[in-house]
């Protein structure tokens, strides 16, 4: 069963339904990072003081994307996590670069959407969004492509313990805004929201340091939390819940 997307995204975001997504690793000479190296180091020191467990590993950002015939291909280049974090903390000052990522959006049989509240040990502590993460070299394949779909499924499993149901829909939705390319895959699970939530909480209970503080259920626009939900989450929920 497909999930209805109305296209009524929140202000500042565009919503594009897609049949296919792909990504490829490219080389990119990122002038902004070179010009702001000292500020990036200071920001990283501040972030480490706040959250000592952060790791400055390699991740991918987007230097462009091409939309055509129901498909999108993103061009991704490698940076250190400290550069990505400083870029985001500075309000995404380079319009030619975007934070690109993919996420599974769990929908329940009774019409709700499941989200997670990020744990205190993460860089996004307290924020509410779908299970996702910034793609990294672990998602790179031998042919130079970056497996965004695989990244989304892996993050879903790691954060919630959920696996994609057999025959799950393949449709994607691209939310563009706030310097982000959010590739979202809505997937309906054949159980109620409370059952899904219980499964996620059970998974959390078996982890030494769960990434999620807890999970929440959204059933209507009244559940949109403008203070803690990033813009792409607010835009998506606005597109699936009637006004």
Residue 3 lies in a domain: no
CA–CA gap between residue 147 and residue 98 (Å, rounded): 17
Give yes or no for residue 2 having a pLDDT over 80: no
pLDDT reading at 75 higher than 90: yes
In a domain? residue 104:
yes
Q: What is the pLDDT of residues 148-182, one digit of tens each?
A: 999 999 999 999 999 999 888 789 999 999 999 99
The whole domain housing 179 covers 16-240
Q: In which order are the strands placed within the sheet that holds 58-68?
A: 20-25, 71-80, 58-68
Q: Is residue 212 part of a domain?
A: yes
- What average pLDDT does the chain have? 93
pLDDT digits (tens, 9 = 90+) for 76-100: 999 999 999 999 999 999 999 999 9
Residue 8 in any domain: the answer is no
Q: pLDDT tens digit string along 26-74?
A: 999 999 999 999 999 999 999 999 999 999 999 999 999 999 999 999 9
Q: Read out DSSP for 130-178?
A: -SEE---GGGB-TTSBB-HHHHHHHHHHHHH---PPTT----EEEEEET
- Does the residue 11 lie in any domain? no
Which CATH number belongs to the domain containing residue 95 in this structure?
Answer: 3.90.79.10
Residue 4 lies in a domain: no
Q: Is residue 61 part of a domain?
A: yes
Quote the Cα angle for 73-79-83, to 5°.
120
What pLDDT, in 10s, does the model give residues 101-143? 999 999 999 999 999 999 988 888 899 999 998 999 999 999 9
Whether 7 is in a domain gets the answer no
Please give the tally of structural domains in the chain: 1
Six token digits for residue 101: 């990522």
């Amino acid at each position: 069963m497909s999930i209805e997307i109305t296209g009524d995204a929140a202000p500042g975001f565009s919503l594009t339904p897609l049949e296919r997504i792909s990504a490829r690793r490219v080389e990119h000479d990122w002038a902004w990072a070179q010009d702001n190296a000292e500020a990036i180091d200071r920001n990283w020191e501040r972030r480490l003081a706040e959250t000592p467990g952060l790791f400055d590993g390699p991740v991918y950002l987007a230097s462009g994307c091409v939309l055509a015939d129901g498909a999108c291909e993103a061009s991704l280049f490698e940076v250190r996590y400290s550069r990505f974090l400083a870029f985001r903390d500075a309000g995404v000052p380079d319009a030619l670069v975007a934070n690109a990522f993919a996420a599974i959006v769990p929908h329940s049989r009774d019409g709700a959407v499941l989200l997670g509240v990020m744990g205190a040990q993460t860089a996004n502590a307290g924020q509410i969004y779908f299970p996702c993460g910034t793609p990294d070299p672990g998602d790179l394949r031998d042919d130079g492509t970056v497996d965004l779909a695989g990244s989304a499924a892996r993050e879903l499993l790691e954060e919630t313990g959920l696996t994609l149901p057999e025959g799950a829909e393949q449709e994607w939705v691209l939310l563009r805004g706030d310097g982000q390319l959010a590739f979202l895959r809505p997937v309906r699970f054949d159980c109620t929201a409370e059952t899904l939530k219980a499964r996620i909480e059970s998974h959390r209970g078996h982890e030494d340091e769960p990434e999620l503080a807890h999970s929440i259920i959204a059933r209507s626009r009244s559940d949109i939390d403008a203070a803690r939900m990033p813009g792409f989450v607010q835009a998506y929920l606005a597109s699936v819940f009637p006004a």
